Amino acid sequence: MAQITQEPIKRLDGKASLLPRHAIVVRVASFAFRFDTLEQLRKALRYYQQKTHPSSRIPAKQLKADLGEDWRKLRGWDVERWFERLPMYLLEKPKRDKVVKALSKALALAEAKKL
């Protein structure tokens, strides 16, 4: 059973904010997803809706274009993308189905302003 909650985002400088912001937290399959924006939630949902994923290898041309001349000094973990940090067991079909269902429900609730 998925648990969908909303947690306040605390400022790092400790000051109070006139416009409090909240993060959407989705706990499913022994993992907690935390989304600061709806776009992050949509990206994760699109990622988990795919049955197969492209290679995680980043072409050198793209690295050079994105990072400038410092790209040669980088190690592999310096350019790790968000989806490469997720646990692999979430991509197994039974868990992936649960994740897609939970993220879809969270997106529907967030868009309906019920979160």
Q: By residue range, what is the domain housing residue 59?
A: 3-12+20-111
Secondary structure class of 10 (helix, strand, coil): coil
38-92 per-position pLDDT tens digit:
999 999 999 999 998 877 777 767 766 776 666 566 665 556 778 888 999 999 9
Q: Which residues of 65-79 are buried (b: 16+ CB within 10 A; e: fewer)?
A: eeeeeebeeeeeeee
Find the length of the chain: 115
User: CA–CA separation, 60 vs 62, rounded Å?
Assistant: 5
Q: What is the pLDDT, as a whole number, of residue 71?
A: 59
Least confident window among 30-34, 78-82, 100-104: 78-82
Residues 35, 24 contacting (CB under 8 angstroms) = yes
Q: What's the structural domain count of the chain?
A: 1
